[in-house]
Chain A
Amino acid sequence: MLLIPCPFCGEREEIEFSYGGEAGVAYPADPSALTDEEWAGWLFVRGNPKGRFAERWVHTQGCRRWFSLLRDTVTHEIVR
């Protein structure tokens, strides 16, 4: 089980959290200007690196706030 450092509550067990996938994926500024390919890319395609990954978590069973982590997908080390 991961021990996840909630920036608001401190380190808590993974079961208190829900996963939100890749961090830093902004909603397109002008969605109607996108081609179908670009829209599909925003909607369905996310980074899936083997190594460090910036990702979103929410402290569902705690403060219910969202935050980002940098975690290694090979070692599971939480870098920050």
Chain B
Amino acid sequence: MSGEHPDFLWRSPEPESSYEVVIVGGGGHGLATAYYLAREHGITDIAVLERGWLAGGNITRNTTIIRSNYLWDESAAIYEHSLKLWEGLEQELGYDLLFSQRGVLNLAHSLHDVREGARRVNANRLNGIDAEWLEPDAVARVCPIVNLSPELRYPVLGATFQPRGGIARHENLAWGYARAADALGVDLIQGCEVTGIELERGRAVAVQTTRGRIAAGRIGLVAAGHSSVLAGLAGLRLPVQSHPLQALVSELYEQVLDTVVMSNAVHVYVSQAHKGELVMGAGIDAYNSYAQRGSFHVIEHQLAAALELFPIFAHARVLRTWAGIVDVCPDASPIVGLTPVEGLFVNCGWGTGGFKATPGSGWTFAWTIANGEPHELNAPFALDRFTSGALIDEHGAAGVAH
């Protein structure tokens, strides 16, 4: 974007008494949904209701990793669709996202990891996704600072590599979508908590909020860690559990890492932000929580893993740690689509890996809300898969590292 940054990227209107579509949740996925509803489907009578402030939740608490190298066809399709949207998004939104396709390495530390990695590379290639298997010497060429010593407790035996993967600046994604949605006429309403969902003969017709009743033709719940709470307002129980997922940044560090490195086995993933902070994350805290903070031993564990893999990080100092509340499904895949309540749609369960999916999630969810039926990309992620048994088990590609 050229010229000075404007003071305000969107209006802050008072809520109307009624909208064609109400999106509950002003995070990345909610804003993307509103944008694509307006842009792709010509529905502009939309409110996005946000309890706190726009982009105050997981969209600005993740480690910004973008990739599409998932194992199963269903996941590969929706995440690759998302990655393709990413590739044109800065131009489309007219907003700098600092999107950097610097590649993503997934390290293998055991014979099992090696076999699973090779299997995933093959599966990815069959799905038209760029993926390579790298032997340790090739890992060293991509990322010279990884410790390849065979003396490691969990030596690096190879890696999968997705060159088109990378990182972006997460708040810019939210702001870019917010600005573009606002320009198309979407009302972005902050400080507006939904406290009730009104049903009329089995159909959702309105939301009660801290700023009054708002009638809605269709309602989309896009509230990540709070999805269970919101769905409960309509009498629905979702198969998700809310957990803290912690991350941290170091103080500014000289540029030493120009790719993304992830390791499921030793539990860490790391990249270096454009300014120089090392950005790291690990697995979720085990217990259910809505507290946006976790236990320190999780940080300690991930730093131990990071130091083993990157001895050079011994000089880095932790600047800040935090947590987001992630909603995790039993199969580590999201829920996107219709609910048993007519007029009520849900988009949740992205768990530990929702950031990369923001464009694809919003795009397919908008399609589903506009058409009242699943899109072929999100149909496999319907809520009723838990009844049919057609789970999409992505614990291998999604379980720990994102």
Q: Does B228 contact A (CB under 8 A)?
A: yes
Residues of A within 8 A of B387 (CB): 36-37, 39-40
Q: Does B242 contact A (CB under 8 A)?
A: yes
Residue of B nearest to A2 (CB): B295
Residues of B within 8 A of A55 (CB): 287-288
* B291 lies within 8 A of A74 (CB): yes
Once A37-B387, A41-B237 are accepted as A-B contacts, the answer to whether A48 and B288 lie under 8 Å apart by CB is: yes
* B297 lies within 8 A of A73 (CB): no
Q: Does B377 contact A (CB under 8 A)?
A: no
* A19 lies within 8 A of B286 (CB): yes
* A40 lies within 8 A of B287 (CB): no
Main secondary structure of the interface of B (DSSP, over half): loop
* B241 lies within 8 A of A46 (CB): yes
* A1 lies within 8 A of B297 (CB): yes
Residues of A within 8 A of B241 (CB): 21, 46, 48
The 8 Å CB contact of A14, one of B228, B297, B386, is B297
Q: Does B289 contact A (CB under 8 A)?
A: yes
Q: Does A27 contact B (CB under 8 A)?
A: no
* B239 lies within 8 A of A45 (CB): yes
Q: How many A-B residue pairs have CB under 8 A?
A: 60
Q: How far is the CA of A17 from the CA of B293 in the complex (A)?
A: 19
Residues of A within 8 A of B240 (CB): 48
Q: How far is the CA of A15 from the CA of B304 in the complex (A)?
A: 15
Q: Does A50 contact B (CB under 8 A)?
A: yes
Residues of A within 8 A of B89 (CB): none
Q: Does B8 contact A (CB under 8 A)?
A: no
Residues of B within 8 A of A1 (CB): 295-297
* B297 lies within 8 A of A15 (CB): yes
Residue of B nearest to A50 (CB): B290
Q: Does B226 contact A (CB under 8 A)?
A: yes
CB distance from A25 to the nearest CB of B (A): 13
Residues of chain B at interface, number, CB under 8 A: 22
* B289 lies within 8 A of A48 (CB): no
Q: Does B316 contact A (CB under 8 A)?
A: no
Q: Which B280-301 residues have C-beta < 8 A from chain A?
A: 286-291, 295-297
* B239 lies within 8 A of A73 (CB): no
* A73 lies within 8 A of B242 (CB): yes
* A2 lies within 8 A of B386 (CB): no
Residues of chain A at interface, number, CB under 8 A: 27
Residues of A within 8 A of B256 (CB): none
Q: Which B206-247 residues have C-beta < 8 A from chain A?
A: 226, 228-229, 237-242
* A73 lies within 8 A of B386 (CB): no
Residue of B nearest to A53 (CB): B288
* A44 lies within 8 A of B386 (CB): yes
* B287 lies within 8 A of A48 (CB): no
CB distance from B388 to the nearest CB of A (A): 8
Q: How far is the CA of A43 from the CA of B239 in the complex (A)?
A: 9
* A45 lies within 8 A of B287 (CB): no
Once A14-B295, A74-B290 are accepted as A-B contacts, the answer to whether A50 and B229 lie under 8 Å apart by CB is: yes
Q: 1/0 per position for A44-72, CB-CB distance to B under 8 A? A: 11101110010100000000000000010
Residues of A within 8 A of B229 (CB): 50
**Which of A13, A39, A40, A55 has the largest count of B CB atoms less than 10 A from its CB?**
A40
Residue of A nearest to B237 (CB): A45
Q: Which B86-140 residues have C-beta < 8 A from chain A?
A: none
Q: Interface residues, chain A, CB within 8 Å of chain B?
A: 1-2, 13-15, 18-19, 21, 36-37, 39-41, 43-46, 48-50, 53, 55, 71, 73-76
Instruction: Add 12 more A-B contacts to A2-B287, A43-B386, A73-B288 (CB < 8 A).
Output: A1-B297, A13-B297, A14-B297, A15-B297, A19-B287, A36-B388, A44-B239, A45-B239, A46-B241, A48-B242, A53-B288, A75-B291
Q: List 17 A-B contacts (CB under 8 A).
A: A2-B287, A2-B295, A13-B297, A14-B297, A15-B297, A40-B386, A40-B387, A41-B237, A45-B386, A48-B238, A48-B241, A49-B228, A50-B226, A50-B228, A55-B287, A74-B290, A75-B291
